[in-house]
Structure 1
Amino acid sequence: MSLTKPNQDLRRDLKAAAFTLEEVALDIFSKAQGCKEAEFLVAMEKVSKMHEQADRLKAYADEVKAGQISRIAEQRK
């Protein structure tokens, strides 16, 4: 089953948001490596939360692909 244009856009946006979160998490990790241990541990908690959210967004994107989540029509303002 092929996706409608709104669902393709939704899936693409979810995957892009997940990628951005992972990219930022990697940047935070890289910068935190030079910090003191306590600061590093705080940063790692944030990185972990970002990865959890990215995983959740990717799972939503998979649900869109499977047809479990659907965008009916784009909202017009």
Structure 2
Amino acid sequence: MSLTKPNQQLRHDLKEVAALLKWSGVDLMKMAVRLSEAGHEAEAWELLKISTSFPDAEDKLAGYADEVKAGRIVRGKQE
């Protein structure tokens, strides 16, 4: 089953956002390490808590992209 152009774009967007979350999480971890090394443990801990929630969101977005590819999620007509 070939995807329509809007569904191709939706799938691409979902995958792009998942990748952005992945790299943002990596950057937050690096920042948390720097904060910790500078003695800002509370701020470092907050960044770590935020970044640890990213993989679940990444997985959800990747799953939605797979559902678009399989035709279970379809972008409707824009009004």
TM-score, with structure 1 as normaliser? 0.85
What RMSD in Å do the two structures reach over aligned CA positions?
1.4
Structure 2 match to 1:6: 6
Q: Distance in 2 between matches of 1:46 and 1:52?
A: 11
Q: Distance in 2 between matches of 1:64 and 1:58?
A: 10
> Is 1:46 aligned to 2:50, yes or no?
yes
Q: Distance in 2 between matches of 1:55 and 1:29?
A: 18
Q: Which has the higher helix share?
A: 2
Q: Counterparts of 1:1-77 in structure 2 under 5 Å? A: 1-36=1-36, 37-73=41-77, 75-76=78-79
Structure of greater Rg: 2
Over the matched positions of the two proteins, sequence identity in percent amounts to 44
Q: Distance in 1 between matches of 2:72 and 2:24?
A: 29
- The number of residues matched between the two structures is 75
Structure 1 unaligned regions, length at least 5: none
1:13 deviates by 0.5
